Structure 1
Amino acid sequence: MTIIAVFNQKGGVGKTTTTANLAAAMARNGLNPLAIDLDPQAHLTSMSGVKLPATKTAVGFFQNHTPLSDLVVQLPNQVNLIPSHMELARIDMMLGNNRRDLRVLKKAMAEEMLSSSDTPVLIDCCPMLGVLSLSALIAADVVLVPVTAEYLAMNGAQQLDQTLNGLTAQGLYRPRKVFINRYQRGHTTSEKVLHELTRRYGRDFCRTRVFESQSVLEGVGNNQDVFSYAPDSEGAEDFGFLLDELIETGFIKVNL
């Protein structure tokens, strides 16, 4: 399966809702996904209704070398989650920006056979380009970039281009897919951003548009993914289509 880092250096673009809803779409298709919350803000963990002491979260992995498999929590929607905690921010500052620390997550995933298993892994990254985000990008096979239909979000995508180019220069090429999030049909800004993303990213830009959706927002407020909250909604349909496209284009590899 594929390890996917969901990342953009612009905050508020929907990284957490993308991770939660893509993982839910995978679970509905019998893919047994694992979501890892590597954002110290722990929004994915909070959205999932999980409350655990720091040592039972990703903090335990980085601080106490707790095996990743010992930190997994199964959610009601059949998504497996390694939760986060605000103490992860201290870990990010304590870890060194050296090759050994940056590769500890990749090494652990290989040793626990997560990187070669039938389990797709989604890593919800924080927007700050620190040790945690770099660790996720190094551990990942591919990078999925949500870009909201606004100009500032495109700037974040441009910054990510520079980061990925830097990794490539170090022999760490990571394929990427960019998709437009919170798109509003007929809205002038949405249409301009859509045109620019299509021009800039070409084949790396997803055909699927994830529309602005009240059901997605309400699901978050109820600690639910959109498939659990409103399975027949346009929001659920959009994330289902997004998963289909990522699989059909080979961006996400599945064992059928």
Structure 2
Amino acid sequence: MAQSVPYPVVRISPLGYLLMALRLLLMLVLLIVCVPLHYLWKLLGLDRMWPRMFLTGVGFAAGLNLSKKGKRVPGALLLSNHVSWMDILALSHAANSAYVAHDGLAQFGLLKWLCEMNETIFVARHRRTSVGEQTDAIRAALDHGGTLTLFPEGTTSDGTDLLPFKSSLLGALEPLPEGATVQPVLLAYEDVPHVSWVGDEPGLDNFKRILARLKPVRLTVHFLPPLSGDELKNRKTMTAAAQEAIHEAML
């Protein structure tokens, strides 16, 4: 999370605090129900559906109102713009997606635990000795038909425009695995100034003001046409093509 821009300072009303408490209670119930079922499914060798169910439920509890446009390609690598922590909830529901994330998230025990249940692949670009393992993990996930999402901006934007996409984040996909599909995705929030996580806003403050909203968080997930031809030549062409496609869809 970056960008040195102002963020909305919202005074939470008593009703907002009550709504926040109810939403947190619902999220806790979801966690209590989904975690044991996840480990049971894992023990039985069944599909790991419960982490996605949990994230979908958290999105519902947080007031996320989701609609979809375009056709999603199952098992694709999704390249998406990044606006809020709610992006994770949205794409877990809309695309049944796992994620490629920076290993900084793994420093937080609870967050790491939740991410690992959802089959998050942590990457550490500064540790050259682990690049091969990270590449293998991403390729294995794609080979087994899993959908992965990567946020090429590397941080959250204000949602009105894109930050430069970083081609280095796609290093594990060069060369692209045979048969792999790369699909750009635009996350378009209706009330983006009051949803985006930018500036110096602490994460907890952003979380609280989203949960205290009386209005739903309306989001349209646009699945754009997959990249093809020369666009897939290397990580730089993939990055440039995805950024152009998402930028055009924002206009």
TM range (shorter): 0.3 to 0.5
Could you state the TM-score of these two structures normalised by the residue count of structure 2? 0.32
Could you state the TM-score of these two structures normalised by the residue count of structure 1? 0.32
Q: Which has the higher contact order (CA 8 A, sep 6+)?
A: 2
Larger Cα-atom Rg = 2
